[in-house]
Chains A and B, each alone.
Chain A
């Protein structure tokens, strides 16, 4: 599968956020989407997820050689501020999610097994999600996206609220998932992007560009990325 972005444009009043962003994302890779604060990473994700209409350009999916518009079930979006059903318990959320999506779920596990994946303690599983910490809500949001296994997974700075152990477990999960999925991981933490991601894509001045690591070591690669973000280097 490929996700093909073609000259995406998006403006807010007089500010041009996306200025013809084009890129092709492919299955089997974790893409690190790097950009400065306000570069438009979240806007890009919102456009792909159709939470915001684009002002110009298009995006589509290429699946088994045929191009088509992206469907809702193709895309999973893990937001930086988790959006979860506050008035359900964790268990109820998973139960309903599994009941509703059973036809699409491969290798279904038990609810408690799913909780174990994201290390939610047994005592918390029957608590109202409203009473969960930010990190726990984030885990639930991540978990349902893992369960649904959409072809394209957009992650908007998802690991920042996780503790070190869970963040490491999430990274392992993402690495296991990447083979059959397109994973686009937005962050402004370069070390995380370099650690986890196979490709680095910069969003700068409203356009996307891949930064080729070539034969650079990590330190030189970092310098190259920073130079691009500063606008002092054209790749």
Chain B
């Protein structure tokens, strides 16, 4: 598993760095300064891998920090007990995160390169990346829920229940979605959710804001829900690790035309488009704030 993770990490960094060099070389003045031999520079790639590792850690924590800071600020602005509001908001935003941020159903160049071009074993790749994603979630949420949750007046038990609840919800949603993909023979793209998902998200957001009207779930609801979710989460985890059709799902999710050159991600042009095209902007910031 570690070898798979190391390879996919290096692969992702390599095409990211190459993409940055390529995009920079698209700028007329800089093109003359940067030689094409930079692509072959082993020193540059090692340096870039180190920087990328630091960036990975930083971005993983940054997302959780921003997310929980916002939740804390919202809880403190509500008329009810802040600790209860903190827990209340997180219950509903965690469900939203289960719908919209599972990592497995996010199409990306890295997945396409690894599974289809490099012929990496799809199951091993998916599980490795998913485990890494969950580990970042666990560590980041634990640290910042203790920091910001306590400032919002939530009990330590509540703060420690946050990462458990989040992980359990994500596992359950992932397993359910995988099963559903097999049944419907189609892949769920979390970047293009269907209208019912958007409606449900809006409803959940509204429910998260209900404390402004004076109604709030008791703080103990969060640790209780976390405990209840443990059992289905264990079964979901087993289902996810035993699932054998990841490649088939990715065939539906990852289309060749989305990852070949010339495909514009946005309507922008020039260097900005090129930077977006090569995946320069870390994809994890907006996702992790939704936990």
Binding site secondary structure of chain B: helix
CA distance A72 to B18 in the complex (A): 29
Proximity bits, B99-140, A CB within 8 Å = 1, else 0: 000000000010001101111101000000000000000000
Residues of A in contact (CB 8 Å), total 26
| Contact status A100-B119, CB under 8 Å | yes
Interface residues of B in 36-81 (CB under 8 A from A): 36-37, 39-40
CA distance A97 to B10 in the complex (A): 12
Contact partner of B251 (CB less than 8 A), chosen from A50, A87, A88, is A50
B213 close to A (CB within 8 Å): no
CA distance A113 to B185 in the complex (A): 42
| Contact status B119-A96, CB under 8 Å | no
Interface size class of B (residues with CB under 8 A): 20 to 34
B150 close to A (CB within 8 Å): no
Contact partner of B14 (CB less than 8 A), chosen from A92, A97, A144, is A92
Proximity bits, B1-32, A CB within 8 Å = 1, else 0: 00000010011001110110010000000000
| Contact status B248-A96, CB under 8 Å | no
Contact partner of A87 (CB less than 8 A), chosen from B37, B114, B278, is B278
A64 close to B (CB within 8 Å): no
Contact partner of B15 (CB less than 8 A), chosen from A50, A88, A101, is A88
B151 close to A (CB within 8 Å): no
Residues of chain A contacted by B118 (CB below 8 angstroms) = 85, 96-97, 100-101
| Contact status A89-B40, CB under 8 Å | yes
B260 close to A (CB within 8 Å): yes
Residues of chain A contacted by B16 (CB below 8 angstroms) = 87
| Contact status B18-A128, CB under 8 Å | yes
| Contact status B39-A127, CB under 8 Å | yes
Proximity bits, B248-262, A CB within 8 Å = 1, else 0: 100100001000110
A-B contact count (CB 8 A): 64
Contact partner of A72 (CB less than 8 A), chosen from B10, B22, B247, is B247
A179 close to B (CB within 8 Å): no
Given contacts A50-B251, A51-B251, A96-B11, are A85 and B119 in contact (CB under 8 A)?
no
Given contacts A84-B117, A126-B40, are A99 and B22 in contact (CB under 8 A)?
no
Proximity bits, B195-229, A CB within 8 Å = 1, else 0: 00000000000000000000000000000000000
CA distance A93 to B117 in the complex (A): 9
A148 close to B (CB within 8 Å): yes
Contact partner of B256 (CB less than 8 A), chosen from A83, A91, A128, A144, is A83
| Contact status B260-A100, CB under 8 Å | no
Residues of chain A contacted by B40 (CB below 8 angstroms) = 89, 91, 126
CB of A234 to closest CB in B, whole Å: 37
Residues of chain B contacted by A83 (CB below 8 angstroms) = 116-117, 256, 260
Residues of chain B contacted by A91 (CB below 8 angstroms) = 40
Residues of chain A contacted by B7 (CB below 8 angstroms) = 96, 99-100
A57 close to B (CB within 8 Å): no
Nearest chain-A residue to B39 (Cβ)?
Answer: A89
Contact partner of B22 (CB less than 8 A), chosen from A85, A100, A130, is A130
| Contact status B117-A89, CB under 8 Å | no
CA distance A73 to B123 in the complex (A): 13
Residues of chain A contacted by B114 (CB below 8 angstroms) = 100
CA distance A91 to B18 in the complex (A): 13
CA distance A101 to B4 in the complex (A): 11
| Contact status A86-B122, CB under 8 Å | no
Residues of chain B contacted by A87 (CB below 8 angstroms) = 15-16, 18-19, 22, 109, 278
Interface residues of A in 92-112 (CB under 8 A from B): 92-93, 96-97, 99-101
Residues of chain A contacted by B37 (CB below 8 angstroms) = 126
CB of B266 to closest CB in A, whole Å: 18
| Contact status A148-B18, CB under 8 Å | no
| Contact status A97-B119, CB under 8 Å | yes
A53 close to B (CB within 8 Å): yes
Residues of chain B contacted by A89 (CB below 8 angstroms) = 18, 39-40
Q: A83-B117, A92-B18 are in contact. List 8 more A-B contacts (CB 8 A).
A: A85-B113, A85-B117, A89-B18, A89-B40, A100-B118, A101-B119, A127-B39, A144-B117
Q: Which 7 A-B pairs have the closest CB atoms?
A: A126-B40, A87-B15, A86-B261, A87-B18, A87-B19, A100-B118, A89-B39
A-B contact pairs, 28 of them (CB 8 A): A51-B251, A53-B185, A72-B122, A72-B247, A83-B116, A85-B15, A86-B260, A86-B261, A87-B16, A87-B18, A88-B18, A89-B39, A92-B14, A96-B7, A96-B11, A96-B118, A97-B119, A99-B7, A100-B118, A101-B118, A101-B119, A127-B39, A128-B18, A128-B22, A128-B39, A130-B261, A144-B117, A148-B119
Q: Which A residues fall within an 8 A CB radius of B?
A: 50-51, 53, 72-73, 83-89, 91-93, 96-97, 99-101, 126-128, 130, 144, 148
